[in-house]
Amino acid sequence: MKDKIIAKQDLIPIIEDIDAIGFYGMLPKHIRGEYDASLFEVDDAIDCRDTFIQQAYENNLLSDEQIREVKKIDDYILRHRVPEELGEFKEWLKGHQI
């Protein structure tokens, strides 16, 4: 969705220290109604996946465990009805599964 290119050396701390995958993992909770969008920015969680996580994956920077976790989150989003603000992201995700 975004065309930002992140340098490899900058992706590792985003994935590990900032825990982009953990933040992305909040989206299923939001879909289930367990997190209100006001508690976190849905767009930021989407950015974690469509920019940082995708590029880390494409650059072979994710561990097998991290890949499994992202797949689990992706699968949840793809299998469930999502709020309107996630509709465009869900369409993007259909073509960008890990």
Q: How confident is the model at residue 18 (pLDDT cuts 50, 70, 90)?
A: confident
* Block residue for tokens 């701390």: 13
Report whether pLDDT(72) > 90.
yes
Characterize 65-81 residue by residue with b for buried, 16 or more Cβ atoms within 10 angstroms of its Cβ, and e for exposed: ebeebbeebbebbeeee
Global confidence as pTM: 0.85
Weakest mean pLDDT among 1-10, 40-49, 81-90: 1-10
Confidence (pLDDT) at 44: 84
Question: Rounded mean pLDDT of 38-53?
Answer: 81
Q: How far apart are CA 79 and CA 1, in angstroms?
A: 20
